[in-house]
Amino acid sequence: MQLSALLKKLPGCELHGDASVEISGVTCDSRAVKAGALFFALRGVTSDGHRYISDALESGAAAVVLEDASFAPANVTWVQVPEGRQAMAQMSAEFYGQPTAGLPLIGITGTNGKTTTTYLIEAIMGAAGIPAAVLGTISYRFGAMAIEASHTTPESTELQAAFRKLADAGAKGFVMEVSSHALEQKRVDGCCFDVGIFSNLTRDHLDYHKTMESYLAAKKRLFAELLRPDAVKPVRRAVINKDDACGTELAASAACPVISYSATYAADVYAKDCTLTVDGISGTLVTPQGQTAFASRLMGRFNLYNLLAAAAAAVALDIPLDAIKKGIEGHAKVPGRMERVENDQDIAVLVDYAHTGDALENVLSTVREVAKGRIITVFGCGGDRDPGKRPIMGRIAAEMSDLAIVTSDNPRTEQPLVIMEQIHEGIKPLGLQMYNTEELQSGFGQKGYAMVENRRDAIRLAVRAARPGDVVMLAGKGHEDYQIIGTVKHHFDDREEAARALAEVR
């Protein structure tokens, strides 16, 4: 493809050199440059891509897109743009043939619930005869094809390549998690959204966004800018959680019509006569298309919200009510989201990705509603991430569990014991019994907590302390099959460790 074809949607750019140069690939990673590539020199948090232009040229880059003309290369075509990331997103979409322009694309943003909601929408679209690809935290996948996810939402070059690959494999629609980082960094600016969903907003990623106002502003871009109807997609819809405090503000900012959903009172889409048990959720789904009884194997009120978000997105796509019901009832589980570790000891061992205070509170509230016995929670907090949530999560886990075991998560470059002590600060004011490892070997009596640095030992201890009817909640890592210590990933899977621990005490 000639460079001139990629510049069609970039008014205001300044071309220096030959616009007919042939481009064979697009990348912002100088290490990935191959002969004929277009290299985007981007300013990052820790490095400046302008300083790697010479490396890209040595590897065969045919042209360069940059912001700072003082780094312009000699005798090579270059393009100056005001915003490199936005240019990269738009040019990447063009390079890969605008894969989302002719197929439905649903994007969901929010602190919690994104992954489960994508799985539900995938099931509903499948029931409607629309085979959909899912791009999310776990992977980018379609049928038997799976592409490992590098980020919740990858760089636009990688994202558009994935869209093209999935479309070529036969996908007739896309369901996508859209992170706040991706919105602020304009990784999704080349995407043609049909529906945008807002699930909720609670404290998370403040190590990056600094304030909740900035976090919300990043989310708002999806609704205020990227859902604006145009000639490519003149009909677009925003799906907004009416029960979240930020929902009203986002709905007011939307550049397209809004479909609201609620679990507590009438909205465009809501549920009535709901029953929540250990076996799942049942009730009546009410939509503008009519109402229908439903029964889902998912657990808890927070999953009711996920069901409603998925149903509202389906309404926005004009999917029939019978397909919505079929999709909801046919969906069983999401890896690492309230996932059961099967056993014959009458101990409910659940693995969940809950890694924020709100998510942890949601899963523990759900467990409390249906638990026959005590709740034992194993959790930690990731290193090099928002330290302000650590005491909050400590308090929530200790208050809502009969036994909370504080352990290591992904410590990264921080010391695990330092992270654990910050979590401990939220537990101390509660005045609970602190158990040591030896005391818990034969179980526990009164409500309390323990501090166990090694996550494997913490899981083993939790299972050993449990008795029939109890629930053991392993929170924070969910589907992850690794633990990051320093800068190295080590294989570690909560589900595998729990299964081993259950076998030991059998």
Domain spans of the chain, in order of start: 3-95, 105-330, 339-505
Helix (H) or strand (E) holding 505: helix 494-505
Other Cβ atoms within 10 Å of 230 Cβ, number: 8
Q: Which residues pair with 237 in a beta bridge?
A: 195
The fraction of the chain above a pLDDT of 70, given in percent, is 97
In angstroms and rounded to an integer, the radius of gyration of the C-alpha atoms of the chain is 24
- Please list the alpha-helical segments (H only) found in 300-432: 301-316, 321-330, 357-370, 389-400, 416-427
Pairing of strands 280-287, 269-277: antiparallel
- Residue whose tokens read 């969906």: 331
Whole-Å CA distances, 83 to 12, 42, 67, 188: 11, 9, 7, 14
pLDDT of residue 505: 86
Q: Is the pLDDT of residue 12 over 70?
A: yes
DSSP 70: G
Architecture per CATH, 3-95:
3-Layer(aba) Sandwich (3.40)
- Mean pLDDT to the nearest integer, 248-254: 93
Chosen CATH of 105-330 out of 3.30.30.10, 3.20.20.140, 3.40.1190.10, 2.40.160.10: 3.40.1190.10
Angle at CA 287, nearest 5°, toward 282 and 291?
Answer: 55
Residue 272 three-state SS: strand
Give the predicted TM-score (pTM) of the model.
0.80
Residue 345 three-state SS: coil
Tokens of 142: 């379609």
Please give the mean pLDDT across all residues of the chain: 93
DSSP 322: H
Tokens of 148: 């490992």
Tokens of 89: 């997103």
The pLDDT tens digits of the residues spanning 13-48 come to: 999 999 999 999 999 999 999 999 999 999 987 889
Distance between CA atoms of 231 and 438, rounded to whole angstroms? 68
Which fold, 339-505?
Protein-Tyrosine Phosphatase; Chain A (3.90.190)
pLDDT of residue 179: 87
Whole-Å CA distances, 273 to 265, 297, 369: 11, 17, 17
- The residue length of the chain stands at 506
Q: What is the DSSP string of 332-349?
A: --BTTBSEEE--SSS-EE
Q: Is the pLDDT of residue 469 over 50?
A: yes
Residue 430 three-state SS: helix
Domains 3-95 and 339-505 share a fold: no
The pLDDT tens digits of the residues spanning 282-311 come to: 999 999 999 999 999 888 888 999 999 999
210 pLDDT tier (thresholds 50, 70, 90): low
30-64 per-residue burial string, b: 16 or more CB within 10 A, e: under 16: beebeeebbbbbbeeeeeebbebbeebbebebbbb
Q: What are phi and psi of 373, to 5 degrees?
A: -125, -140
Q: Which amino acid is at 73?
A: P
Q: Is the pLDDT of residue 207 over 60?
A: no
